Chains A and B, each alone.
Chain A
Amino acid sequence: MLPKVLEKSKFAAFATALAGEYQVVGPQLKEQSKAGGETFVFGPVTDGAALRMDYNITLLSPKKYFLPMRETLLKYTTVGHPKAEAVMDTRQRVIVGAHPCDIYATWLLDKVFSTDHKDPNYLSRRERALIIGLDCAKPCDETSFCHDMGTNYVESGFDLMMTDIGEAYFVEIATEAGQALLAKAETREAHNEDFAKRQAFMERKQGGFHKRIPVDTKYLPEILEESYDSLVWEAIGRRCFSCGSCNLVCPTCYCFDITDKLNLDLTSGTRERTVDSCQLDNFASVAGGESFREQRSSRLRHRFFRKAKYIQEAFGRKGCVGCGRCDRNCVAKINSVETYTQIAGSR
């Protein structure tokens, strides 16, 4: 499908038009610090003008719309014979302005939740969501290492992909559903100079990203395997507070807990899924009191092994997209690039 051009001045109207039919979620300003720093989040909008398409990174990725922090899996009644029924979110959503790394993470989770036992709650949301991507020309900030992970370019996983070409967005149409969405915007054909501007963007992009991990990340699975007994895990693990923030903000983490919530009437309730963290000390403990990853270092190692080895080996997709959210939110200043660098050097 031939690309189109959407003038920036017409973008807000497009998003507002979509909001008439879908829940539109996109980047918005959450907070401005005194020093002028801005914090962004994905959130629902009814007025497209609230979207901040110049955002760098959001606190949480759009994962929260597919695997929310808390969701209801089923509701039940306990009076007489117990009864239960599944609860699914069937809202139609459009995710606007997702960066390539977050699209990549979604693409990974699609695979995770549709492999073997399909997860209807994830898939119900995901099937009804459309993704309008927004390409980036440079890393969000100095913490990003998406280029090392190869996730700053995505070829699929979106319905539309917008590239900033100055006064307008160059819009690639990847799916028919995307084309139908774009019909609600006032667009024009892409001309030669638009293609040239997009080409210039891609060249800028190529020069804008630099690798930070001293080894090719395709070797990380083997490097990690060899590092299993390295003292580096203990050295880094010692600093860890086991707070779990790294997991909570990660776009590719998908471990969860399931708990029951009884309503006030005490005869009905819900079973809920909440995102969980493998860094918490009781994550792998059982009734006898045994915990199978008792040491912080073994939990930290488990996280990195999942990110850069296990997930990739199981699904053929990177388990870490290099967004740096874990690192930005770590109170102990544990840093992925430093960890991989240190591990690669300590085998």
Chain B
Amino acid sequence: MSAAVDRYLALQKELVLPGRGLSWIDALRNEGAHHFKDVGFPTMRDEDWRHTNVRPIQKREFTLGNSAQDELDNDSLSKSALTGLDAYRVVFVDGRYCKALSSLDGLPGGVTVESLAAAVAADTDEVRETLGSIAPKHRSGFIALNTAFVDDGLYLHVDDDCVVDKPIELVFFSTDTAEQLIQPRNLFIFGNRSSVQIIEHYVCGQGSVYFTNAVSELLVQDSAVLQHTKLQEEGDKAFHVGGVFMHLQAGAQVVSNNIALGSLIGRTDLQVALKAEGASCDLNGVYFANGRQHIDNFTQVDHEKPACKSNEYYKGVLNDRARAVFRGRVVVHQDAQHTDAQQQNKNLLLSADAEVDTKPQLEIYADDVKCSHGATVGQLDEAAIFYLRSRAINEATARSLLTYAFAADLISRFSIPAIRSRVESVLSSKLFGGSQMEQLV
């Protein structure tokens, strides 16, 4: 279906994107366009997309080039706000930075927050050198599509030694303009020994059909400490493809929380490269899907240098006809002696029609390493349900309690209370249609 590809490429030529005329950004976009032309949308023949059919995305004619909105009825935005979250807030409406709705008062001086569009136009060395250098160019047509249209998103720079006291929440809010393609492009640079918490939060108004195709690139420099939470709560008719790509330098420590709750088809590519000694990452992931939702998490950790650690733990709960895909790739490069890489994926199916494809994939080219992986797919334990019922707990409560218990150890890893409670309440409302769980937790 190259017609779809051609249509996007034609659109790309028409749009006046920020910084046009600067040779490096033109070259970056053109490279994206060329690659997109070559590979197009992935198909199920591609190994990395074997279980996820993106034809529903491909066949729609999404529009691009949304105009900036400085106003928004604040109701729809506040509805999606995380209750009790004390954070700096950067708001993007349909992919465009919206200063009026953002709140950055009190942000430490060592932090620069800017729209990527402005940062590109400003043509600094840092942006020029970093943008496009972390996201793997040839990973999929979606990254290429995003790159062809590099437009707006967040540019964040944190100075060396800067400790940010509160999380910085990026709200990607999609209005109800139907059939639009929103392509945030985010660039984060965390200086040496800095310490920051980021929340990438994808939400929408009423829930029309739209497509988010986001790419985030994160450079985490020596001994920086980062917590990155992606909270995907797109509308239930929406499509979401998002890439989160990180480079970790010596001694950098990252906790990634990847939470997929929304969208009809949702795919996240999370790729962490441990590029220097002593870097470490904890990758926590959770997905709850119901109805006909399809949630795909494709993760890759590259141990490139010695003595790095990675610990990945993903859990999913599926109901109805929902489907999930987990791919956990760990590559231990030849140099990477004393690697410690752990990976686990556990799934709970609440209905006979739910399905999961889970595949750990270890590639080890070094010899002195400690690696393990495991994957499970199970149902609720009937013996446990009977046991609880014999203690006067009704069946519905017993089931929700056991489901909650399944997810609890993962949820407890989310250190921001507002994130935990959002995940808990979505678990309860999505899978049990109501308030039951609230009494439990």
Q: Do A and B bind each other?
A: no
Chain A residues engaging chain B, CB cutoff 8 angstroms: none
